[in-house]
Chain A
Amino acid sequence: MDISKDILLEIYDRMVTTRFFSERINEFFIKGIMHGTTHLSVGEEASGVASCMALDKGDYTTSTHRGHSHAIGRGMEVIKIMAELFGKVTGCSKGKGGSMHLADFDKGHLGSNGVVGGGFAIATGAALTQKMKDTGKIVLCFFGDGASNEGSFHESLNMASVWKLPVIFFCENNLYGVSTPVSKSMNIKDVAVRAKSYGIPSYIIDGNDAVEVYKTTREAAKYCRSGQGPVIIEAKTYRYLGHSKSDECEYRCAEEVNRWKKKDPIIIFKNYLIENNIANQIEIKRIEDKALKEIDLAVEFAKNSPNPPLNALTEDVYA
């Protein structure tokens, strides 16, 4: 499968945008100038972005509490995401959702979710719509290793498989559910083996390899689109930072973190682009500079945006 230069560079663009975005948000929380909480995807940019890029226009996604990479991956406007985290009225959810509730229904992004496992059934229902209306579109449902121990995982995968619904259940396995390692929360090493219980195919991939993520997602999407039912993709990856803003990471050692940093998804992908003559250093630098500038502009936009008016408090509870 050949991937066009445009797509590869766009994946790189969105990956570095996610990295810079996350680092900037982390900085704001350390400085104490951002309200609420956040779950950052630093280290998981390939799995989050390249998978979204493998989808077609009109396809849907559901996301998790760690969803910035998915929002950026789906092409949501960075200024609106930043403004949302600042709680501003110009945010994608008008300042009422924050870090865990980013959505853009027009772009097919049905939203990130504050409840672990909350997206499985929503994705299943969105896929049911595609099947009933015969749209040819599919749904990609992000989830983490920890979410696969929720009851909604089993219920939804069972339902999606028996109805042959077009969903890719995309696991970003970052080895920990908050502080608990996978080894202490399940009796198996790979989430993907659970696919067998539902009679559906699965893939286990290097989640830090953007090209592998993209290609596998394309292949799985093709399978789903052909009406054969759902698929599990398990992308092995790692988060460099804590579970959320208040995590000291006492449950894992520095050596482990450093080992994963040697497999950094952005560096791996950058080397791939250069070694395969897809982009040179200058082009790479241009993308990175553009991404940084975009973040700067987004911060400026967010800071200068107004808070929601107080009368917005009771708006939009009901349609």
Chain B
Amino acid sequence: MKEMTYSEAIRLAMTEEMRKDENIFIIGEDIGIYGGTFGVTKGMIDEFGEERIKDAPISEAAIVGAAAGAAVTGMRPIVELPFLDFITIGMDALVNQAAKMRYMFGGNEKVPMVVRLPGGSGTGAAAQHSQNLEAWFCHVPGLKVVAPSTPNDAKGLLKSSIRDDNPVVFIESKLLYNTTGMVEEDPEFTIPLGKADIKLEGSDISLITYGRMLKKALIVAKELAKENIYIEVIDLRTLAPLDKDTIIQSVKKTGRAIIVHEAVKTGGFGGEIVATIAESDAFDFLKAPIIRIAGVDIPIPHNKELEKAAVPSEKDIKAGIYRLLNK
């Protein structure tokens, strides 16, 4: 294990896979010498050249669509968009084309591509550069959706995503890029898609989260342990396919569930987790209603204090937990 940032872990995952398989290339805006909007691909052009670290025109529809076209003809493209928000321009290519090609052509084709999207707020870039739209992608059968929260998960999950034969939407939380953690160095280390990870075991409450909110959840859980409240923190890591089993088993054990995500509450992925619990036999174990702590239903504002108030804070999470315990 070696300490590195989330950003370095993503770069390492791509570098290792590209060394192994010459069909992999990266296509995106300003990913070459510039190194990408958040510097994730910095330096990769030196090793792989501009043919495989492909700076594209500012054309998200063509970038995502070309990736699909390359994928069905033998390549394994990785798309990097500057901001998750810009996928709206490439949505036809992703939703109507890449996600559908296998099914609507009778299962004859594979579409191995990864679309890396830096998401989330916290940079002051306001409403068009800060969204968390993962629920949209989860609503499209044919797509896989991954949202890692630690450098090690980012590396292992990205490698699995690159090796997967389906279109994978890989959501990177931009506020995590500079966070550090211990990362497996073995080039054959991967983390399978569709497996949640229990980041902290506990007996009183199941806290289900993913992405940037994991850190806040763990801080809250550690604080509350001092009050003898033991929270089990589940990091979903992959949203589609969803590891329902881990969620259900945990809720059966604790009898209480709280879901925390950065995305806005209405229509958010948290609703799907609530339904997963409510439709399962874990329902009979519930001692209290399920609670969602999520983003406020607004576009992200620019002002720093307003921006902070738009997403769940540690205080919000703690308040939710007290509510769950009738405290």
A319–B165 CB distance below 8 A: yes
- Are the C-beta atoms of B61 and A125 separated by less than 8 Å? no
B108 contacts A122, C-beta separation under 8 Å: no
Query: Contact size class for A?
Result: 35 or more
The answer to whether A125 and B25 touch across the interface, beta carbons within 8 angstroms, is no
User: Judging by beta carbons under 8 Å apart, are A316 and B61 in contact?
Assistant: no
Cβ proximity bits A85-106 to B, threshold 8 Å, 1 near / 0 not: 0000001111111000101010
Are A101 and B65 CB-contacts (below 8 A) given A110-B72, A129-B70? no
Q: Are B72 and A128 in contact (CB under 8 A)?
A: no
Checking A91, A114, A156 against B65 with a beta-carbon cut-off of 8 angstroms, the contacting residue is A156
A-B CB contacts (within 8 Å), total count: 143
Contact with A along B108-141 (1 / 0, CB 8 A): 1111100000000000000000000000000001
Contact B108 A125 (CB under 8 A): no
Check if B174 is an interface residue, CB within 8 A of chain A: no
CB-CB nearest in chain A for B108: A105
B97 to A94, Cβ gap below 8 A?
no
Q: Which residues of B contact A81 (CB under 8 A)?
A: none
Q: Contact at A319–B62, with CB atoms within 8 Å?
A: no
Task: Determine which of B57, B68, B109, B142 lies in contact with A125 in the assembled complex, contact meaning CB atoms within 8 Å.
Answer: B68
Contact of B105 among A97, A120, A121, A127 (CB under 8 A): A97
Contacts of A94 in B (CB 8 A): 106-107
Contacts of B59 in A (CB 8 A): 155-156, 158-159
List A contacts of B77 (CB < 8 A). 125
Interface residues of B, count at CB 8 A: 44
Please, which residue of chain B has its CB at the minimum distance from the CB of A103? B105
> Can you offer 5 A-B residue contacts whose CB atoms are under 8 A?
A91-B106, A115-B97, A128-B75, A130-B73, A152-B93
Known A-B contacts: A96-B104, A118-B96, A155-B61. Give 8 more (CB < 8 A): A62-B69, A117-B92, A118-B93, A120-B65, A121-B63, A125-B67, A125-B70, A317-B142
For the complex, give the distance between the alpha carbons of A231 and B66 in Å: 17
| Closest A residue to B89 using CB positions | A151
As a 0/1 sequence over residues 115 to 147 of chain A, the CB contacts with chain B under 8 angstroms (1 = contact) are 101101111111111101100000000000000
A152 in contact with B106 (CB, 8 Å): no
- B161-173 interface mask toward A, CB cutoff 8 Å, 1 = contact, 0 = none? 0000110000000
CB within 8 Å of B: which A132-187 residues? 132-133, 151-152, 155-156, 158-159, 162
Q: Is A265 on the interface with B (CB-CB < 8 A)?
A: no
What is the CA–CA distance of A95 and B103 in the complex, to the nearest angstrom?
A: 10
Q: Which residues does B use to contact A, with CB under 8 Å?
A: 25, 51, 56-57, 59-75, 77, 89, 92-93, 96-97, 101-112, 141-142, 144, 165-166
Q: A256 within 8 Å of B by Cβ?
A: no
Question: Is A318 part of the contact surface with B, judged by Cβ < 8 Å?
Answer: yes
Closest residue of chain B to A128, judged by CB? B70
CB distance from B310 to the nearest CB of A (A): 31
Known contacts: A155-B57, A159-B62, A319-B165. The answer to whether A105 contacts B72 by CB under 8 A is: yes
Does A60 count as interface, using CB distance less than 8 angstroms? yes
Name the distance in Å between B169's Cβ and chain A's nearest Cβ. 13
Cβ-defined contact, B141 with A317, below 8 A: yes
Min CB distance, A187 to chain B, in Å? 23
Chain A interface residues (CB < 8 Å from chain B): 60, 62, 91-97, 101, 103, 105, 110-111, 113-115, 117-118, 120-130, 132-133, 151-152, 155-156, 158-159, 162, 315-319
**Most chain A CB atoms below 10 A, which of B66, B68, B110:** B66
Known A133-B74, A155-B59; contact A316-B66, beta-carbon cutoff 8 A: no
A117 to B51, CA, bound (A): 26
| Bound-state Cα–Cα, A39 to B69, Å | 24
Complex contacts, B101 vs chain A, CB 8 Å? 111
When chains A and B are docked, how far (Å) is the Cα of A128 from the Cα of B65? 11
Residue in chain A with minimal CB distance to B59: A155
Min CB–CB distance A178 → chain B (angstroms): 18
Least distance between A309 CB and chain B CB atoms (Å): 13
The smallest beta-carbon distance between A38 and chain B, in angstroms, is 16
Contact A318 B106 (CB under 8 A): no
- Do the beta carbons of A97 and B75 come within 8 Å of each other? no
A92 and B106 contacting across the interface, CB-CB below 8 Å: yes
Closest chain-B Cβ to A284's Cβ sits at a distance in Å of: 35
Indicate if the CB atoms of B107 and A316 lie closer than 8 Å: yes
Q: A122 touches which one: B75, B97, B103 (CB < 8 A)?
A: B97
Find B96's partner among A95, A115, A155 (CB 8 Å cutoff). A115
> Is A162 touching B57 in the complex (CB atoms < 8 A)?
yes
A316 touching B65 by the CB < 8 A rule?
Answer: no
